[in-house]
Amino acid sequence: MDSLSRLLALYPMRTALDVRCHFGAPWLLQQDAVDAGIAPYHLILEGQARLDVPGQQELALQAGDILVFPHGSAHTLHLHGPQADSQPLYEAPAAGPLRTVVNDGDGAATDILCGQFTWDPLASQTLLAALPPCLLIRTQGQARLAGLQALLGLLRQEAEQAQPGAAAVLAQLASALFAMLMRAWLTQADQPPGLFAALAEPRLQAALHAMLSRPGQDWSLASLAATCHMSRANFARVFSQVAGTTPAALLQQLRMAQAAQWLRQENRPVAEIGERAGYQSEAAFNRVFKRSFGMGPGQYRRAAMATRPSLADAD
């Protein structure tokens, strides 16, 4: 398994694609801040829009743009004029599987699909901290993003047509969306220092792959540097500049994410999970885990079991 796939597998999420917006200018769509672990997203399918985020310069958007707000920041999408000039929004009857929100504006039309990605707010801290407040991927005219453009087309098709199984198809397509967005973002040159920047840095990829594939191994600075064919000093310098942290600190974060996943999914004793994660002492594992998640591994497992969906919930 490649490094990005391993990384995303450590942080399972739920996806929702639930609203289709069809607006005629002038219009305004406001999104309040949401809780930690929830990342609203918007897919601009047709037309244009403007993005306002408090404290930042207004941004022009066009068809093919994808916006994600990993930290749930408040934001506003609009076109043509201030709120006073905007036509009211209301929900309209929909033939397709999504709620449809429209207005009575007679200006230029804009089509947007809206949804959200949701993670466990405790387990996802490392992942979300590595992402900017607003993640923008522009797909129009980008041949390298042909797969993402095709996914947008499929999402639009399923959202517009009331075909059998459309809701299930949309759910599966939305699940693939985040991974494809991260793959596209890794090819850009503007990642802030952090986990994804380290993953995208060719000089560090071997070390990241080693930590992700074998987090419980007794990695040292020297052994990680050797995987990248670098000296210890040069490796430590480059890693700190790109990742914004030390190799030991990032390894601990990945070990904790892996341990949390095992606790959620397996019934192995806590001591065994700690050993698999690289801790020979159960006391040391408990101490680091509690510092990372605010609770011991046993309590974390019980909490995860209590919130796990049951078959009855799916009825």
In the predicted structure, residue 222 carries a pLDDT above the cut 80: yes
Instruction: Give residue for tokens 């693939």.
Output: 176
What pLDDT is attached to residue 313?
Answer: 45
What pLDDT is attached to residue 81?
Answer: 62
CA distance 287 to 294: 10
In the predicted structure, residue 212 carries a pLDDT above the cut 90: yes
What pLDDT is attached to residue 311?
Answer: 36
Over pLDDT 70: what percentage of the chain?
Answer: 96
Candidates 1.10.10.60, 1.10.3720.10, 1.10.287.1770, 3.30.470.30; CATH matching 195-307: 1.10.10.60
Tokens of 92: 């309209």
In the predicted structure, residue 39 carries a pLDDT above the cut 50: yes
- Name the fold adopted by 13-186: Jelly Rolls (2.60.120)
What pLDDT is attached to residue 270?
Answer: 96
Q: What is the pTM of this model?
A: 0.89
DSSP codes of every residue in 243-281: HSS-HHHHHHHHHHHHHHHHHHH----HHHHHHHTT-S-
3-state secondary structure of 136: strand
**pLDDT: is 310 or 206 the higher one?**
206
**pLDDT: is 166 or 258 the higher one?**
258
In the predicted structure, residue 113 carries a pLDDT above the cut 90: yes
pLDDT digits (tens, 9 = 90+) for 118-170: 998 878 888 998 899 999 999 999 999 999 999 999 999 988 887 888 888 88
CATH 1.10.10.60 residue ranges of the chain are 195-307
Among 26, 31, 18, CA closest to 109:
26
CATH 2.60.120.280 residue ranges of the chain are 13-186
> Mean pLDDT over residues 14-26, rounded?
93
In the predicted structure, residue 307 carries a pLDDT above the cut 80: no
Residue 90 zone, left/alpha/beta (φ > 0; ψ -120 to 50; rest): beta
In the predicted structure, residue 86 carries a pLDDT above the cut 90: no
Element holding 114 (H helix, E strand): strand 109-119
In the predicted structure, residue 83 carries a pLDDT above the cut 80: no
> Mean pLDDT over residues 225-242, rounded?
97
Over pLDDT 90: what percentage of the chain?
Answer: 73
Find the range with the poorest average confidence among 76-85, 86-95, 247-256: 76-85
- The stretches of the chain forming alpha helices (DSSP H) are 3-9, 125-129, 146-160, 166-186, 195-200, 205-213, 221-227, 232-243, 247-265, 270-276, 282-293, 297-307
pLDDT digits (tens, 9 = 90+) for 177-210: 999 999 999 887 677 888 999 999 999 999 999 9
> Mean pLDDT over residues 33-46, rounded?
96
- The DSSP call for residue 311 is T
What pLDDT is attached to residue 204?
Answer: 96
What pLDDT is attached to residue 27?
Answer: 94
**pLDDT mean across residues, the chain:** 91
Instruction: Please give the order of strands across the beta sheet that includes 48-52.
Output: 27-31, 75-79, 48-52, 59-62
What pLDDT is attached to residue 240?
Answer: 96
CA distance 151 to 159: 12
> Mean pLDDT over residues 267-287, rounded?
95
CB under 8 Å to 275, separation ≥6 — which residues? 216, 285
> Mean pLDDT over residues 240-264, rounded?
95
What pLDDT is attached to residue 188?
Answer: 76
